[in-house]
Amino acid sequence: MGRGHRAPLLTVIIAIDGPAGAGKSTVARQVAASLGYTYLDTGAMYRSVAWKAISASVDLAVEQALEDIARQLNIRFTALTSDGKQQVFADDEEVTDAIRTPEVSELTSRISAFPAVRRVVVEQQRRMGQMAGKGVVLEGRDIGTVVFPNAHLKIFLTASPEERARRRFDELQSRGLAADFAQTLAEQIARDSRDTYRPDSPLVAADDAVQLSTDGLSIPQVVTHILGLHKQCTAAQHD
């Protein structure tokens, strides 16, 4: 839960961090929908930058070019639907599915390690989060450690690499995309390594985050647990 010595936030912030495939997006959507809060998929913002870089044939070794894309790209999210879905727009083009391809996923992990790109996107995340109204649920890699270190509630979701790779494999197959489990697992492990050991904003649980393994748990069970933590958190703030 949030650190008391940091400046208070008017908007209730729930930060959900964790590695790829831990279930952050699905859980965060359902938590936001249950509470009537805004949902902000921060990973989709980095994915949109990667998608734009590929579409524009940008030299991926030039950090300045990627920073320029991040700064100029207009990313917009629609409100959550009743069934927890949300559309993503980049420069007014709907990219919800386009940013979920294996190619974009691979590039996203690489460009999100660039400090200049992260600085720009973090600024955007803070601005969007602070404008969210009564509450917002953000999920990513560094929400509770960098973006909103004073978040009211911090959750660190995790699961075994094998479980997370299985989920990714099933997702790709359900979308009709070619997938190989061994390759998916190898990519999962490589991405974990990049995210954990990058010098800027590495993937790590905040000291005051509640760590929750999703192995063997259903999505409703995880959501219920987080809603319980939110209730405790808000009750404590009003004492």
Domain residues for the domain of 133 are 12-233
The mean pLDDT value of the chain amounts to: 89
pLDDT exceeds cutoff 90 at 82: no
pLDDT exceeds cutoff 50 at 7: no
Q: Name the band, by pLDDT with cuts 50, 70 and 90, for residue 146.
A: very high
Q: Span 190-213, mean pLDDT?
A: 88
pLDDT exceeds cutoff 50 at 111: yes
Residue 69 lies inside a defined structural domain of this protein: yes
pLDDT exceeds cutoff 90 at 233: no
Q: Nearest 5°: phi and psi at 21?
A: 85, 5
Amino acid making up residue 94: E
Residue 37 lies inside a defined structural domain of this protein: yes
- Say how far apart CA 88 and CA 95 lie, in whole Å: 6
Greatest extent of the chain over all pairs of C-alpha atoms, in Å: 55
Give me 92's structure tokens. 């007014």
Q: Which residues contact 81 (CB under 8 A, 6 or more apart)?
A: none
Residues forming beta bridges with residue 156, ordered by sequence position: 17, 211
- Say how far apart CA 112 and CA 194 lie, in whole Å: 10
Amino acid making up residue 152: H
Q: Minimum mean pLDDT among 55-64, 172-181, 218-227: which range?
A: 172-181
The more confident residue out of 83 and 58 is 58
The more confident residue out of 194 and 29 is 29
Q: Span 134-150, mean pLDDT?
A: 93
Residues forming beta bridges with residue 158, ordered by sequence position: 213
State the CATH number of the domain containing residue 119.
Answer: 3.40.50.300
Q: What does the pLDDT look like over 53-78, one tens digit per residue?
A: 999 999 888 999 999 999 999 999 99
Q: What does the pLDDT look like over 84-105, one tens digit per residue?
A: 789 999 999 999 999 999 899 8
pLDDT exceeds cutoff 70 at 3: no
Residue 6 lies inside a defined structural domain of this protein: no
Give me 206's structure tokens. 């905040």
Residue 7 lies inside a defined structural domain of this protein: no
Q: How many domains does the chain have?
A: 1
- Say how far apart CA 155 and CA 24 lie, in whole Å: 10
Chain length of the chain = 239
Residues of 135-173 as b/e, b for ≥16 C-beta within 10 angstroms? bbbbbbbbbbbbbbbbbbbbbbbbbebebbbbbbbeebe
Residue 104 lies inside a defined structural domain of this protein: yes
83: how many CB neighbours lie within 10 A of its CB?
8
